[in-house]
Amino acid sequence: MAEATKSTGLRERKKLERRTRLADVAVELFERNGFEKTTIEQIAAAADLAPRTFFSYFATKDDLVLADYTDRLRRILEELDRRPAAEPAWEALRSSFATVADDYEAEESRIRRRFTIMATSPSVAARSLQLQAGWEQALADALTRRLEADPGDPMPRLLAATALAVMRASLQHWLLNIEDGPLPDLVQRSFDQLGVGLSRMR
């Protein structure tokens, strides 16, 4: 039972607890008063911390809303690694994103709340896209390794960009038209519709 509980010490535990507490009270305040009208000072006060301390946990106010993005990317990459090497790249991407779609579906309320905030505060939406651009890079790298392609081959990046675009479009559609069925199905269908041409390669 080496690292089952990763709370190595009190210090680490407190750190994590403070981070989640900040994110929690922040989202609550955002929903009550709006993102723009909530100041960092208020958030820090609600989390019982000094304003200055906020910035050792989050680089920007935007990041507060997108706290789990890092995990999400890791999840995609893990799933991608788990797919058999013989499987065509587009297939592997489809499966990986389907898994993530399951996660989203399971956390619908959280996702929806975030969507609401993004809809009214452009800076958060912008930051979200910027983080996704980082995902694109990471995905492209992973695909380059997977396909054993040249570092200069544009195909991995093209695949990564397209997959992310499909995911984003599906997510948005799902959030706005929930009657069209569960997200994983939507993602599957979208990937398939694009995939006819792609699944052939490798």
Q: Can you give 137-196 as a three-state secondary structure string? A: HHHHHHHHHHHCCCCCCCHHHHHHHHHHHHHHHHHHHHHHCHHHCCHHHHHHHHHHHHHH
Q: Minimum distance from CB of 161 to DNA (Å)?
A: 27
Task: Choose from a second copy, DNA, none: what does 53 bind? Cβ within 5-8 Å by kind.
Answer: DNA
SS3 content of the chain, % helix, strand, coil (to 5): 75, 0, 25
Of 60, 104, 68, 90, the closest CA to residue 191 belongs to 90
Q: Minimum distance from CB of 158 to a second copy (Å)?
A: 5
Binding site for DNA (CB under 7 A): 8-12, 14-15, 18, 38-41, 49-53, 55-57, 59-62
Task: Choose from DNA, a second copy, none: what does 200 bind? Cβ within 5-8 Å by kind.
Answer: a second copy
Q: Determine if 194 is a binding residue for a second copy (CB under 8 A).
A: yes
Q: Applying CB under 8 A, which residues contact a second copy?
A: 122, 125-127, 129-130, 133, 152, 154-155, 157-158, 160-162, 164-166, 168-170, 172-173, 177, 180, 186, 190, 193-198, 200-201
